[in-house]
Chain A
């Protein structure tokens, strides 16, 4: 199985700051098949990015994804209050489809 390791575990930032979240895979992910999700307390995850760098419908352009192979990054250019929460990466290059353990972005 492909193991995804996200870092850091927690990111404490002020609103307006930039956030950089990392997702590292134990094996190369085929075709850049890597997605990012946001989850807020008591809510279901929401798709942000698919194919490593494509924003899902309705996702603001302050969210961007990059990377290939085993190293991927989610960047939030300027944090807004609604961006604080948990972020997960998911690989779908090979079954079983696996998620990282998550990065919490909270307010400083």
Chain B
């Protein structure tokens, strides 16, 4: 059974940085596209970044491009999100999610972590 566990959330001041991690287990991590999806308090879901299995292809939503960096360590089965220049409107629960099959275009999210809470406030 695939399992995803996020860590690294917390309270940070505007302009600060934070790194989220997602530990994956129960599946062949290196063969799947991995993603970050966030949800602001009381709001809907927003996809923010993807990295394909081989790390060659990386995508960002415009809202985080240039500030956030996604990466993965296939030897350790970890996904990361480095968040810099954080803003108040980045406050959200950040979910790590596995995409079913990036290469066939089937980027729907079949497994999710429990989420990491990031609060940006002075």
Q: Which residues from chain A sit less than 8 Å from chain B, CB to CB? A: 30-31, 33, 35, 37, 43-47, 50-51, 56, 88, 90, 92-93, 95-102
Instruction: Give min CB distance, B108 to chain A, whole Å.
Output: 4
Given contact pairs A50-B110, A99-B46, a sample of 11 additional A-B residue pairs in the complex whose CB atoms are under 8 Å apart = A35-B108, A45-B95, A45-B109, A45-B112, A50-B100, A90-B45, A92-B107, A92-B108, A93-B105, A95-B59, A97-B107
Q: Which residues from chain B sit less than 8 Å from chain A, CB to CB? A: 44-47, 50, 59, 61-62, 95, 100, 105-110, 112-115
Whether B110 pairs with A47 at a CB distance below 8 angstroms is yes
Cα A37 to Cα B107 with chains together (Å): 13
Task: Count how many pairs of residues, one from A and one from B, have CB atoms less than 8 Å apart in the complex.
Answer: 58
Cα A98 to Cα B61 with chains together (Å): 10
> What are the residues of chain A within 8 A of B112 when measuring CB–CB?
44-46
A interface, over-half SS: loop
> What are the residues of chain B within 8 A of A100 when measuring CB–CB?
44
Instruction: Give min CB distance, A95 to chain B, whole Å.
Output: 6
Which listed residue, A33, A44, A51, A99, touches B114 by the CB 8 Å rule?
A: A44
Whether A101 pairs with B105 at a CB distance below 8 angstroms is no
Whether A47 pairs with B95 at a CB distance below 8 angstroms is no
> What are the residues of chain A within 8 A of B59 when measuring CB–CB?
95-96
Question: What are 12 pairs between A and B in contact, CB < 8 Å?
Answer: A30-B105, A33-B106, A43-B114, A44-B113, A47-B108, A47-B109, A51-B106, A56-B110, A90-B45, A92-B107, A99-B45, A99-B46
